[in-house]
């Protein structure tokens, strides 16, 4: 009978279901956000979930809707639509596509890392994918032109691939065991290049900052710097567990080299199922910063228009 009762219209679906002040709460949130099953949903299912949320925000509850179904609709909607712009995100750029895409790319990077052409190809694939993810999950709602996007992509990908080739060249002078860490080192270094370049508009023009009630107070480059730094740290740590699977090559894979790629991909995928949400949960999605740390002109603006505000909030992106 309980499932047939009308649910309350006062549930705050603007915020995650679980308290984001704790790591456990954020982990539960991101396990839902990064659920790979969401990429299998049809456009009809996504639009239906989005409509349920839009109706609920207007005070209209779909007949027979339960609270669990409401939250499910929210996470389905959030998995496909950008939180700031509301636009439907590119499929492979969504966080729900992170595990299947990264397990394939990373597994192949770790298997085919010895030759320059292989390194060049897989690093290009990896950085092209990262560029799509970084653009898709950017913070803010300001438009970016095709020229700006193209310049950022070329710069980010070229820098990341050059870094990977340089590290691969250095690896030829060390033991094969250490050489196995080259893909991880390349990914870590590339993230430090790719993410800031793909989100350089945020660094230049700032990202929206709000008060605790989501009232927009202005745009801040300082907030963008903090947001991008947090994302870089999360992405580097996200890659670490999967890269650790190099140990397998010291045993069974030496005897059965043809099994290398499928086993690497499978093990990386298993690691990423847990590493992706747990690393995303290191920092709150709705990040915060003291007003005193913002740009002087923005501080003055906020203190003049909202004198009681001491902390601002912003979407850090993913």
Residue 280: pLDDT band (50, 70, 90) is confident
Q: Which of 108-117, 174-183, 187-196, 283-292 has the highest mean pLDDT?
A: 283-292
Domain-located, residue 29: yes
Q: What is the pLDDT of residue 68?
A: 87
At residue 13, does pLDDT exceed 50?
yes
Per mean pLDDT, which range of 2-6, 197-201, 306-310, 312-316 is the poorest? 2-6
**Number of domains into which the chain is organized:** 1
Q: Tell me, what's the pLDDT at 245?
A: 52
Rounded mean pLDDT, 185-212: 79
Model confidence at 14, pLDDT cuts 50, 70, 90, reads confident
For 283-296, write each residue's pLDDT tens digit: 888 888 888 898 88
Which of these ranges, 27-36, 44-53, 77-86, has the smallest mean pLDDT? 77-86
Q: Which tops the pLDDT comparison, 261 or 230?
A: 230
Residue 34 counted as domain residue: yes
pLDDT value, residue 257:
60
Cα separation, 230 vs 11, in Å, equals: 29
- Is the residue at 109 inside a domain? no
pLDDT, tens digit, 9 for 90 and up, residues 201-239: 888 888 888 888 888 888 889 999 999 999 888 888 877
Is residue 211 one of the residues assigned to a domain?
Answer: no
More confident residue, 2 or 192: 192
Q: Is residue 38 part of a domain?
A: yes
54: containing domain: 23-88
Looking at residue 171, its pLDDT comes to 67
The backbone torsions φ and ψ at residue 181, rounded to the nearest 5 degrees and listed phi first, read -85, -5
Crossing angle of helices 260-280 and 98-111, in 10° steps, is 130
Q: Who has greater pLDDT, 104 or 113?
A: 104
pLDDT of residue 236: 81
261 vs 152 pLDDT, higher one: 152
Residue 273 in any domain: the answer is no
Q: Which of 49-63, 167-181, 204-218 has the lowest mean pLDDT?
A: 167-181
On average, the pLDDT of the chain sits at 79
Mean pLDDT of 145-174: 74
Stretch 269-291: mean pLDDT? 84
Q: Is residue 66 part of a domain?
A: yes
* Cα–Cα dist 95/39, whole Å: 9
Q: Give the pLDDT of residue 305.
A: 84
How far is CA 146 from its chain centroid? Answer: 22
Q: Please check the confidence at residue 3 and state whether its pLDDT lies above 50.
A: no
> Cα separation of 15 and 36, whole Å?
21
Structure confidence at residue 2 as a pLDDT band (50, 70, 90): very low
Q: Is residue 177 part of a domain?
A: no
Q: What is the pLDDT of residue 6?
A: 63
Give residue 8's pLDDT: 74
**Residues near 309 by beta carbon (within 8 Å), at least 6 away in sequence:** 211, 217, 291, 302, 303
pLDDT tens, residue by residue, 57-107:
888 887 888 888 889 988 888 888 877 777 888 888 888 888 888 878 877
Burial profile 187-226: b = 16 or more Cβ within 10 angstroms, e = fewer: bbbbbbbbbbbbbbbbbeebbbbbbeeeeebbbbebbbbb
């Amino acid at each position: 009978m309980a499932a047939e009762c009308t649910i309350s219209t006062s549930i705050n679906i603007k915020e995650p279901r679980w308290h984001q002040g704790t790591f456990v709460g954020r982990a539960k949130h991101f396990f839902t956000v990064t659920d790979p099953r969401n990429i299998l949903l049809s456009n009809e299912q996504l639009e239906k979930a989005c409509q349920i949320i839009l109706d609920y925000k207007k005070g209209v509850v779909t007949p027979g809707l339960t609270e669990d179904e409401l939250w499910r609709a929210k996470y389905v909607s959030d998995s496909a639509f950008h939180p700031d712009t509301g636009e439907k995100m590119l499929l492979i750029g969504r966080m729900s596509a992170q595990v299947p895409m990264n397990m394939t790319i990373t597994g192949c990077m770790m298997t085919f890392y010895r030759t320059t052409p292989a390194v060049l190809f897989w690093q290009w694939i990896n950085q092209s994918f990262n560029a799509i993810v970084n653009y898709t999950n950017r913070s803010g709602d300001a438009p970016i032109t095709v020229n700006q996007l193209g310049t950022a992509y070329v710069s980010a990908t070229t820098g990341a691939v050059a870094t990977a080739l340089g590290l691969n060249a250095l690896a030829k002078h060390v033991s094969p065991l250490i050489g196995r860490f080259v893909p991880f080192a390349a990914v870590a270094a590339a993230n430090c290049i790719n993410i800031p370049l793909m989100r350089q508009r945020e660094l230049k023009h700032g990202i929206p900052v709000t008060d605790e009630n989501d009232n927009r107070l202005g745009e801040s480059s300082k907030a963008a710097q903090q947001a991008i730094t947090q994302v870089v740290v999360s992405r580097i740590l996200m890659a670490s567990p999967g890269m650790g699977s190099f140990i397998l090559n010291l045993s069974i894979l030496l005897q059965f080299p043809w099994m290398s790629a499928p086993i690497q991909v499978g093990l990386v995928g298993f690691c990423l199922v847990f590493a992706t949400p747990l690393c995303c949960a290191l920092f709150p999605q709705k990040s915060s910063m003291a007003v005193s740390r913002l740009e002087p002109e923005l501080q003055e603006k906020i203190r003049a228009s909202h004198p009681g505000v001491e902390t601002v909030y912003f979407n850090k992106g993913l």
